């Protein structure tokens, strides 16, 4: 900034060299020979702004869910009716049996309420995280300051209770409502609040991947591998969700698993392009040494992939400035260790 | 103004708002877009470009309805108010494309209505729908009058006279101050004297606007752009020095005060009530670059003017009740226009500078619950990006056809030849510009002529290029087209 460049203008020689009639007094001086012009592509401004607004699919009338709700209602009525019959029968047989059944019913009702509440809370939290991510994306694409501020505030509220993030929250509060760019504001929140969590999640994925590959390499039967892979994928998903602040119950878990699998199928193609060469090379080496070892590495890779998809689904913000972790980041040690083992 | 009239006026506008809100909900969805900006900030060009892109159905990547292919068509339809002239879209468009000159400065109010037919995207209903978009164009000079509404004649006189003491104004103000010094507010009224004072005052305002550093105008705006009021007694008043708090009846001061009040109640308030209080969305166009070109004093003036204007608007989140009786603007976008005068790598800095300039207004708007967005845009993009290799130096410049008479350094353009212009680099920290830490002469933003746009062999009009106009459209009207 000490020596700013002065504003300057350079005439561009026009393609047709016919001088206009008016300019007879003096011809414009020819440009100095050492000046060279390079036109940039006309679309560069649009390109620099990044991708256009994502197109949301058209929502359809939810007939399927209406069908299931109706059927569910019927089943509930049937169950209620049979319980009611049972209790009347018991009262007819012996009144004290009837009272015991009534008490049991009450306890069951309380437990059911608690369960439903927990499930609902879990699903609600998942939805909130999803909505937060979508709002952040929308704010980024339309440069909406108010929305960005809202996202950061909500994210802050989400992590208030965590002692490990207290310092980050304090630093975030110091910035307050200063007028910041949308991406700057979100990137700041990402750096202060999410990067410690990202590290934890990456460590969890790496650990799960190496566990899976070790168990696969050592296990005597294929069925054991499959069971362990599924089990550890489920455990990983739960763990990542917990790291980012979700507490999925069964329903929330199913939702998340579906989202992660969908994400996996979408990003699968991309991942092949990016690091497959490395992976196949490593796998080739390991597989040549032992088929079982190769299988282990492959299963570990799959777990890592799934873990990354789970991370993308559970994270409350899109990746703003931080680059998303790759398979190499979380499963790189598999090749190294397999090569060591080899 | 007596409170009774005030209540009557408010009740009148509430009834009108109620009628409009019910028709918006029940009969025909309508969106009123307020295009606000000081003189020469590019309101007319913005409006023309908006109509052009919607009517021609161009690809607008960041405008979701257009990008998703849900816009069926848009057309200009007869406007709702028959007493307001129609916006001369065709004239402006021809000026831009065929004569390659910017539309002349607006000298009166005009209006248009655009019927946008689109395919619904979400919710239970699907199929085609229509949204009416109403936009009003008006001279930017009139905008600062809004600040007069809450001022009394005495306060306004004092403020205007105090304004002459600002740096660089003494010379401009001298002739008017000399005339005013001879006037005694307590003297008996004399029409000839009043007219002489008003003329001297008008000359001062005109000189002020023509000055190099001026970005905003000093009210009253009708003195510069009288519209259809030229010569009316309502425009024959001027500030007076040595005013008492209460004017003696029959004196010159009393006459001036009466006319000032008449100007407020008959000119400013109807304009404000008719066209500003009932907008749903608001875009505030700011010509940041010209102000940067003129230095920190001009920037400060711009900030103050924008703040005064925005205070007058009703802004905030709508509740059920307010939607019906006193609607507020719920989305406000601040736009730095003429972004095409800078290389795109500096657009972020322009955006940052704009945010700093409007931060006071932005905070207040956000506190009221409205959504705020900022953008650096060019309604009509007149340049392209060029890298200039000058010896060992690499400059990121823009090239286009500068207007005749514009100059950069000692180069003076004839309006015909093309040139690559490096306008100087905006500092990374926008505060530096306001603090005056940037040496004068670091920037020069010459005006460019509109880009050459030819109609094709079938006679269809060409496509006016733009920068981020689509983004602004998405923020302002995108959510109503779902």
- pLDDT per residue as tens digits for the range B409-460: 888 888 888 899 999 888 888 888 888 788 877 888 888 999 988 877 777 7
Which residues of chain A lie closer than 8 angstroms to B395, CB-CB?
5, 8
For residue A146, give the nearest of B372, B391, B468 by CB distance. B372
Three-state secondary structure along A219-285? CCCHHHHHHHHHHHHHHHHHHHHHHCCCCCCHHHHHHHHHHHHHHHHHHHHHHHHHHHHHHHHHHHH
Do the Cβ atoms of B419 and A36 come within 8 Å?
Answer: no
215-274 of B, contacting A, C-beta below 8 A: none
ipTM over 0.90: no
Do the Cβ atoms of A142 and B475 come within 8 Å?
Answer: yes
For residue A34, give the nearest of B359, B390, B418 by CB distance. B390
405-444 of B, contacting A, C-beta below 8 A: 408-409, 411, 413-414, 416-425, 427-428, 432, 438-439, 441-444
Nearest CA in chain B to A138: B475
* Three-state SS at B97: helix
Task: Answer yes or no: is pLDDT of A106 > 90.
Answer: yes
Task: Answer yes or no: is pLDDT of B401 > 80.
Answer: yes
Do the Cβ atoms of A55 and B371 come within 8 Å?
Answer: no
Question: If you write DSSP's letter for every residue of A42-83 in order, what string do you get?
Answer: TTHHHHHT-S-PPPPPPP---HHHHHHHHHHHHHHHHHHHHH
For residue B385, give the nearest of A5, A40, A144 by CB distance. A40
Task: Answer yes or no: is pLDDT of B2 > 80.
Answer: no
- pLDDT tens digits for A18-64? 444 444 444 445 556 677 887 777 776 666 665 443 344 455 678 88
Position B304 scores a pLDDT of 85
Do the Cβ atoms of A5 and B352 come within 8 Å?
Answer: no
Beta bridge partners of B402: B448
Task: Answer yes or no: is pLDDT of A150 > 50.
Answer: yes
Alpha helices, DSSP H, located in B23-152: 43-56, 64-67, 89-97
For residue A52, give the nearest of B61, B402, B419 by CB distance. B61
Position A47 scores a pLDDT of 62
Do the Cβ atoms of A34 and B391 come within 8 Å?
Answer: yes
Q: Does B386 touch chain A (CB under 8 A)?
A: yes
Do the Cβ atoms of B414 and A22 come within 8 Å?
Answer: yes
Position A223 scores a pLDDT of 83
Supply the DSSP symbol for B266.
I
Task: Answer yes or no: is pLDDT of A72 > 90.
Answer: yes
Residue with the bigger pLDDT between A257 and A181: it is A257
Is residue A335 within 8 A of residue A213, CB to CB? The reply is no
| Token pair for A7 | 């504003």
Position B250 scores a pLDDT of 85
Q: Does B202 touch chain A (CB under 8 A)?
A: no
CA dist., res. B354 & res. B468, Å (int) = 15
pTM: 0.71
Q: Does B357 touch chain A (CB under 8 A)?
A: no
* Three-state SS at B420: strand
Chain mean position to CA B349 = 22
**Mean local confidence (pLDDT), A250-258:** 82
| Token pair for B45 | 């060009």
Q: Does B397 touch chain A (CB under 8 A)?
A: yes
**Mean local confidence (pLDDT), A279-297:** 66
Task: Answer yes or no: is pLDDT of A1 > 50.
Answer: no
Nearest CA in chain A to B386: A39
Question: If you write DSSP's letter for every residue of A175-211 in order, what string do you get?
Answer: HTT----HHHHHHHHIIIIIHHHHHHHHHHHHHHHHH
CA dist., res. B109 & res. B104, Å (int) = 14
**Mean local confidence (pLDDT), A287-314:** 80
- Residue-averaged pLDDT of chain B: 85
Reported as a pLDDT band with limits 50, 70 and 90, residue B52 is very high
Beta bridge partners of B389: A36, B394
Alpha helices, DSSP H, located in B222-262: 252-262
Buried-state track A30-59, b at ≥16 Cβ within 10 A, e below 16: ebeeebebeebeeeebbeebeebbeeeeee
Task: Answer yes or no: is pLDDT of B205 > 60.
Answer: yes
Do the Cβ atoms of B418 and A12 come within 8 Å?
Answer: yes
Position B113 scores a pLDDT of 93
Q: What are the phi and psi torsion angles at A197 (to 5°)?
A: -70, -40
Nearest CA in chain A to B439: A4
Reported as a pLDDT band with limits 50, 70 and 90, residue A143 is confident
Beta bridge partners of B396: B387
Q: Where are the beta strands (DSSP E) in B230-314?
A: 281-286
Mutation target to probe the B interface, by most B beta carbons within 10 A, among A6, A7, A63 is A7
């Amino acid at each position: 900034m000490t020596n700013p460049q002065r504003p300057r203008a350079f005439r561009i020689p026009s393609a047709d060299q016919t001088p206009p009639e008016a300019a007879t007094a003096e011809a414009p001086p020819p440009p100095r020979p050492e000046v060279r012009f390079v036109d940039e592509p006309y679309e560069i401004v649009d390109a620099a702004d990044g991708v256009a607004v994502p197109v949301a699919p058209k929502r359809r009338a939810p007939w399927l869910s209406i069908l299931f709700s109706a059927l569910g209602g019927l089943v509930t009525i049937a169950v209620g009716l049979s319980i009611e019959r049972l209790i009347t029968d018991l009262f007819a047989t012996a009144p004290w049996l009837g009272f015991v059944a009534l008490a049991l019913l009450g306890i069951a009702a309380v437990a059911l309420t608690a369960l439903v509440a927990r499930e609902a809370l879990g699903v609600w939290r998942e939805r909130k995280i999803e909505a937060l991510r979508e709002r952040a994306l929308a704010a980024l694409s339309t440069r909406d300051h108010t929305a960005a501020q809202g996202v950061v505030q909500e994210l802050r509220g989400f992590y208030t209770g965590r002692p490990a993030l207290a310092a980050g929250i304090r630093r975030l509060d110091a910035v307050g409502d200063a007028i910041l760019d949308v991406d700057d504001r979100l990137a700041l929140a990402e750096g202060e609040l999410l990067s410690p969590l990202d590290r934890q999640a990456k460590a969890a994925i790496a650990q799960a991947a190496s566990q899976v590959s070790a168990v696969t390499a050592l296990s005597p039967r294929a069925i054991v591998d499959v069971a362990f892979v599924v089990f550890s994928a489920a455990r990983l998903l739960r763990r990542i969700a917990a790291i980012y602040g979700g507490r999925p119950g069964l329903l929330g878990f199913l939702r998340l698993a579906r989202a992660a699998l969908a994400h996996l199928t979408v990003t699968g193609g991309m991942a092949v392009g990016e690091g497959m060469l490395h992976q196949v090379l490593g796998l080739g080496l390991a597989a040549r040494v032992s088929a079982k070892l190769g299988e282990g590495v492959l299963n570990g890779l799959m777990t890592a992939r799934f873990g990354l998809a789970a991370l993308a689904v559970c994270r409350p913000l899109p990746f703003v400035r931080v680059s998303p972790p790759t398979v190499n980041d979380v499963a790189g040690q598999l090749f190294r260790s397999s090569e060591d083992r080899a | 103004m007596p409170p009774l009239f005030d209540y009557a006026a408010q009740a009148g506008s509430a009834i009108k708002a109620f009628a409009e809100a019910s028709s918006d909900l029940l009969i025909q969805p309508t969106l009123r877009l307020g295009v606000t900006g000081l003189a020469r900030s590019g309101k007319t060009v913005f409006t023309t470009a908006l109509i052009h892109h919607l009517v021609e159905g161009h690809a607008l990547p960041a405008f979701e309805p257009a990008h998703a292919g849900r816009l069926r068509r848009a057309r200009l339809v007869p406007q709702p108010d028959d007493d307001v002239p129609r916006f001369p879209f065709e004239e402006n468009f021809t000026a831009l494309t065929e004569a390659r000159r910017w539309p002349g400065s607006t000298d009166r109010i005009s209006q248009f209505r655009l019927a946008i037919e689109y395919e619904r995207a979400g919710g239970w209903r699907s199929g085609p729908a229509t949204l009416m978009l109403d936009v009003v164009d008006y001279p930017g000079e009139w905008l600062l009058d809004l600040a007069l509404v809450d001022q009394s004649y005495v306060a306004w006189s004092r403020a205007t006279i105090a304004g002459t003491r600002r740096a660089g104004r003494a010379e401009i103000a001298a002739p008017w101050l000399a005339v005013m010094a001879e006037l005694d507010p307590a003297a008996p009224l004399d029409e000839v004297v009043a007219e002489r004072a008003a003329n001297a005052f008008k000359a001062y305002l005109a000189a002020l606007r023509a000055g190099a550093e001026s970005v905003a105008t000093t009210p009253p705006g009708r003195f510069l752009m009288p519209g259809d009021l030229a010569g009316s007694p309502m425009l024959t008043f001027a500030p007076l020095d040595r005013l008492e708090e209460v004017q003696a009846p029959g004196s010159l001061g009393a006459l001036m005060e009466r006319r000032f009040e008449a100007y407020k109640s008959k000119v400013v308030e109807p304009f404000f009530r008719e066209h500003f209080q009932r907008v749903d969305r608001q875009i505030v166009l700011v010509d940041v670059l010209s102000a940067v070109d003129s230095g920190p004093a001009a920037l400060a003036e711009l900030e103050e003017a924008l703040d005064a204007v925005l205070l007058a608007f009703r802004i905030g989140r709508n509740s059920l009740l307010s939607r019906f009786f006193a609607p507020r603007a719920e989305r406000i976008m601040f736009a730095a226009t003429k972004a095409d005068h800078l290389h795109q790598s500096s657009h972020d800095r322009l955006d940052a500078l704009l945010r700093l300039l409007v931060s006071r207004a932005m905070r207040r708007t956000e506190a009221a619950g409205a959504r705020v967005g900022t953008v650096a845009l060019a309604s009509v993009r007149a340049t392209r990006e060029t890298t200039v290799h000058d010896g060992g130096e690499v400059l990121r410049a823009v090239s286009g056809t500068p207007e005749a008479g514009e100059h950069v350094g000692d180069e003076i353009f004839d309006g015909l030849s093309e040139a690559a212009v490096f306008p100087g680099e905006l500092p990374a920290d926008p505060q530096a510009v306001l603090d005056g830490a940037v040496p004068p002469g670091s920037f020069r933003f010459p005006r460019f002529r509109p880009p050459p746009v030819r109609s094709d062999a079938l006679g269809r009009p060409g496509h006016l290029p733009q920068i981020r106009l689509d983004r602004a459209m998405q923020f302002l009207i995108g959510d109503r087209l779902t």
